[in-house]
Amino acid sequence: TLARADSVPTQTLDAARAQKAQLGAALSADDAQIESASIQLGFATIRAPVSGIAGALQVDQGNLVHASDPGFLSTLAQIHPVQLEFSLPQSLVQALRQKHAIDVDAFEEEGGRFLERGKLTMIDNQIDAATGTVLCKATFVNGDEKFWPGEFVSARVHLADLHRVVVVPSKAVQPSDSGPFVYVVTSKGRAAVRRVETGAAEGNDTEIRTGLEEGEIVVTEGQFRIEQGTKVSARIPGGNARR
């Protein structure tokens, strides 16, 4: 405005314009340096794709590392959420596939303390021919960090609530080429082989779908010493033999 009104000398105006251009160039150079420093900082910063806990460092401060190095700086373990891997018998595959949402409870391997309830999130697409089992995965929120990567826990899968079913101690069920069986104690005090169809297992008990009636007595110890017709005596756990 002052220049238009011829209020300042032309020489002063040219000097001001030159100074403005010089300062603008310096500002652009500073911006370029800031951008370059940001890029360099990005090269020096490693960002993990997931949150988790870093393990032991494999390098020390000052070591020279490259992206192509075969080793690694540290191992990152994700703990929110966590996945639990376990295997189930192939006989349960159809039951697993028929349910849309399946709860899985996790317990400490020693002591059996309940940890958390999660959801079944994966059923493998093939049976392990060597073991006759299918690999499954369950996901847990792990909000209280009760799980630690790599630890062993026990899992219980909720397929159905069973009511008024016949159960026996799991150790009473014996395997054979023709299927599972139990030794039943007859009214004459002798052992009799009884073929059974087993169902779900809960703790130390196994469901018997067919082959046994409620109230029948089964042998739970010493099966390898008896056979069909062997004379046996019933004993209350912790007590004396009952004849």
pLDDT in tens, 35-74: 999 888 887 777 888 888 889 988 888 888 887 888 888 8
Together in a domain, 130 and 183: no
Predicted TM-score of the model (pTM): 0.56
Residue 55 forms part of a structural domain: no
Together in a domain, 98 and 37: no
d(CA 154, CA 149): 14
Can you give the pLDDT at residue 129? 92
**Given 157, 185, 213, which residue is the final one in a domain?**
157
How many domains does the chain fold into?
3
pLDDT at 239 over 80: no
> How confident is residue 112, by pLDDT bands cut at 50, 70 and 90?
confident
Residue 54 forms part of a structural domain: no
**Average pLDDT score over residue span 215-235:** 88
Residue 98, domain extent: 80-157
3-state class (DSSP) for residue 172:
helix
Where do runs of H (alpha helix) occur along the chain? 10-44, 93-98
pLDDT digits (tens, 9 = 90+) for 114-139: 999 999 999 999 999 999 999 999 99
Q: What are phi and psi of 63, to 5 degrees?
A: -65, 145
Together in a domain, 178 and 121: no
**Given 125, 140, 157, which residue is the final one in a domain?**
157
